[in-house]
């Protein structure tokens, strides 16, 4: 691992596997996107998925959370095989898995306060004063306490992403999935988002899976990086290890 990263125990030391993909296959529009994906993701780590556009990175995330179902193979998440779950079991699992979309996916007709209250009201029976406390704590975590009564249209792109992260973390998920969390942001704001991911990782001890083209985000956050090529994972290692890879395809991401 890089010197500025928290080093995880090696898998052989007994660290828990929280996501396990086995022989995962997925075809879309007649194109075989995922051909034979095998991957273990360990408790508490931050895993980066690299790959060219259209290589299946986001499809992999959607299979993990059940937004897409594989054509074949297993998707074990927190000891559940996702394709075997019924509707109610899948909804329960999704409470434990947070998904950050590229846009932040805020409800434009709701204020920031209402956006953050929504998952609490929907999933948990809490008194209003506790809802208020949780909302304010979540906004404090992302440094946007003063934005509580703003509408999404009043927020910058970086602020929308931070509010989206706060809304997802408010249910205290065990796993976080990030789909291009810094896309469309200037370098300074991108670094802020990456540092925020690190901060939330430290506070909540979640397992994080990040799809990104932003190599600075990967350098700052990754415990481990995997590379998706032609429907399979072809390389894995730390940032510095892959940066020195003999594989020209892999090394190309770091140039």
- Secondary structure (DSSP) of 115-135: HHHHHHHHH----HHHHHHHH
Q: What is the DSSP string of 57-120?
A: HHHHHHHHHTSS--SEEEEEETTEEGGG--HHHHHHHHHTEEEE-TT----TTS-HHHHHHHHH
Instruction: Note the pLDDT of residue 9.
Output: 41
Q: Is residue 155 assigned to a domain?
A: yes
Residue 53 within any structural domain of the chain: no
57 is a domain residue: no
Residue the block writes with tokens 């992999």? 60
Determine the pLDDT at residue 103. Answer: 63
The domain that contains 126 carries what CATH number? 3.40.50.300
In contact, 210 and 181? CB cutoff 8 Å: yes
Residue 163 forms part of a structural domain? yes
pLDDT per 10-residue tile (average), the chain, 255 residues: 40 75 94 94 95 92 95 95 94 91 79 92 84 92 92 90 89 92 89 90 91 94 95 94 92 89
At 175 the three-state DSSP class reads: strand
Residue 229 within any structural domain of the chain: no
- What pLDDT sits at residue 5? 44
Residue 225 located in a structural domain: no
- Would you state the pLDDT for residue 14? 63
Domain count, the chain: 1
Q: Is residue 204 part of a domain?
A: yes
Domain that holds residue 201: 96-212
**How far, CA to CA in Å, does 240 sit from each of 103, 115, 156?**
30, 39, 33
Supply the pTM of this predicted model. 0.88
pLDDT at 158: 87
Q: What is the pLDDT of residue 100?
A: 87
In a domain, 164, yes or no: yes
């Amino acid at each position: 691992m890089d010197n500025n990263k928290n080093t995880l125990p090696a898998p052989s030391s007994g660290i828990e596997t929280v996501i396990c993909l086995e022989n995962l296959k997925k075809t879309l529009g007649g194109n075989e996107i995922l051909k034979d994906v095998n991957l273990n993701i360990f408790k508490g780590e931050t895993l980066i998925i690299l790959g060219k556009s259209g290589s299946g990175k986001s499809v992999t995330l959607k299979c993990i959370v059940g937004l897409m179902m594989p054509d074949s193979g297993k998707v074990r998440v927190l000891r559940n095989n996702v394709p075997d779950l019924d509707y109610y079991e899948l909804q329960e699992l999704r409470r434990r898995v947070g998904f950050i979309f590229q846009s932040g996916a805020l409800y434009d007709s709701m204020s920031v306060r209402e956006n953050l209250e929504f998952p609490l009201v929907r999933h948990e029976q809490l008194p209003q004063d506790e809802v208020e406390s949780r909302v304010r704590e979540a906004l404090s975590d992302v440094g946007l306490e003063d934005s509580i009564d703003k509408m999404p249209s009043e927020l910058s792109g970086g602020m929308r992403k931070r509010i989206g992260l706060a809304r997802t973390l408010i249910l205290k998920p065990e796993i976080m999935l990030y789909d291009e969390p810094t896309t469309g942001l200037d370098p300074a704001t991108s670094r802020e988002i990456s540092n925020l991911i690190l901060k939330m990782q430290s506070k909540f001890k979640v397992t994080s899976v990040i799809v990104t083209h932003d190599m600075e985000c990967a350098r700052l956050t990754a415990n481990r990086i995997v590379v998706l090529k032609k429907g399979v994972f072809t390389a894995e290692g730390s940032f510095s290890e892959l940066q020195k890879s003999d594989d020209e395809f892999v090394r190309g991401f770091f140039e």
